[in-house]
């Protein structure tokens, strides 16, 4: 499976050219372009091509990307000349880009050292999750993603059990001014976490599953289900990708927690005072928020 592109790639790459040009003067042989004396180096060009996941050796692609960097540099210079307070904006942009780039590079180096799952691990996962593979179903689903505080979860569950249809439940959500989104999709059982796949396998058409979600409650209605088993050979790449991704996220999570224990960190509450709530985002699974930035196979 090809690497996923980071959704933030173009924005980071745009600032990256400014960061590197300002901090690392290029030797003459490494100059790809000059814009009013500011150098865009070949190394910067290569790094932006790598970041957006395109071939570095393609001459036409390199030319177009270099033109893009030149245009960005022109616009950046004009912004600095024409906008009051732009120097501070530039300082913050460079700082943010540097932080994100270096953090992602460290993550990439870390996860690239994680070996792929072994055959025994893949076989064990296949055997332990028949609902996802050997007894796999493809579901036509209607899903409610409800935004609500955790304190209302019990109430939400109670009202869902009391109504006669999801339309009636949606009307109640509107009256309570609880935001929700309804989507309809067709998904295979292997796309869900194992415990969810096992729960969905027990439901009949028209029945619903109630799941906790980070923002509230997730309601899944089984509109239609059809059997579509996967043998171990067919399931192998799916399992390998899942297990490898989980290992990598766990490695990043463990490293973040290790570094946080060793670091001196102060979280402020916006008024300059320390936040008594401590350090946010360091609970188990914190590295999951970084997953979109990682290029997993």
pLDDT tens-place string over residues 184-237: 999 999 999 999 999 999 999 999 998 888 778 899 999 999 999 999 999 999
pLDDT score at 281: 47
Residue 24 near residue 42, CB atoms below 8 Å: no
Total Cβ atoms within 10 A of residue 193: 12
pLDDT in the model for residue 295: 45
pLDDT of 49 reads 81
- Cβ atoms of 286 and 253 within 8 Å: the answer is yes
Location of structure tokens 């490293």: 255
Type and span of the H or E element at 295: none
In the predicted model, what is the mean pLDDT of the chain?
Answer: 80
pLDDT tens track for 138-163: 999 999 999 988 888 889 889 888 88
Would you state the pLDDT for residue 22? 46
Reference 31, options 19, 18, 44, 22; nearest CA is 44
Model confidence at 249, pLDDT cuts 50, 70, 90, reads: confident
Cα angle at 49 between 47 and 51, to 5 degrees?
Answer: 70
Whole-number Cα distances in Å, 127 to 53, 78, 140, 239, 247: 36, 61, 25, 11, 19
Checking if the pLDDT of 117 tops 80, the result is: yes
Instruction: Supply the pLDDT for residue 290.
Output: 57
What global pTM score does this model have?
0.66
pLDDT value for 190: 95
The structural domains of the chain, with segments of one domain joined by +, span 9-109, 137-227, 232-293
pLDDT for residue 181: 92
Task: Give the least confident one: 4-8, 17-21, 75-79, 255-259.
Answer: 4-8
Coil, strand, or helix at residue 124?
Answer: helix
Residue 171's CB is within 10 A of a number of other CB atoms, namely 12
What would the pLDDT profile of 91-115 be if each residue is shown by its tens digit? 888 888 888 778 888 888 888 899 9
Q: Position of tokens 């036409």?
A: 60
Per CATH, the number for 137-227 is: 3.10.50
Q: Name beta bridge partners: 216.
A: 147, 213
Please give the Cα distance from 174 to 161 (Å, whole number): 17
């Amino acid at each position: 499976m090809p690497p996923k592109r980071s959704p933030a790639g173009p924005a980071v790459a745009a600032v990256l050219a400014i960061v590197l040009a300002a901090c690392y003067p290029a030797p003459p042989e490494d100059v790809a372009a000059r814009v009013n004396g500011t150098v865009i180096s070949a190394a910067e060009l290569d790094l932006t091509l790598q970041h957006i996941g395109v071939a570095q050796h393609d001459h036409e692609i390199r030319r177009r990307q270099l033109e893009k960097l030149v245009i960005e540099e022109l616009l950046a210079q004009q912004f600095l000349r024409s906008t009051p307070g732009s120097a501070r904006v530039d300082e913050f942009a460079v700082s943010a880009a540097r932080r994100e780039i270096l953090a992602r590079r460290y993550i990439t180096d870390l996860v690239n050292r994680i070996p792929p799952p072994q055959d025994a691990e893949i076989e064990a996962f296949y055997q332990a999750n028949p609902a996802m593979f050997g007894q796999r179903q493809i579901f036509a689903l209607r899903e409610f993603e409800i935004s609500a505080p955790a304190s209302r979860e019990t109430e939400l569950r109670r009202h869902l059990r009391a109504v006669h249809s999801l339309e009636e439940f949606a009307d109640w959500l509107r009256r309570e001014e609880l935001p929700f989104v309804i989507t309809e999709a067709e998904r295979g059982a292997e796309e869900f976490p194992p415990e969810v796949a096992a729960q969905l396998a027990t439901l009949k058409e028209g029945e619903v599953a109630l799941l906790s979600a980070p923002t509230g409650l997730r309601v899944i209605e089984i509109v239609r289900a059809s059997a579509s088993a996967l043998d171990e050979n067919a399931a192998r790449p799916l399992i390998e990708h899942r297990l490898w991704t989980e290992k990598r996220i766990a490695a990043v999570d463990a490293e973040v927690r290790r570094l946080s224990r060793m670091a001196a960190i102060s979280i402020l509450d916006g008024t300059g005072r320390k936040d008594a709530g401590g350090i946010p985002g360091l609970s188990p699974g914190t590295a999951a928020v970084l997953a979109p930035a990682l290029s997993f196979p």
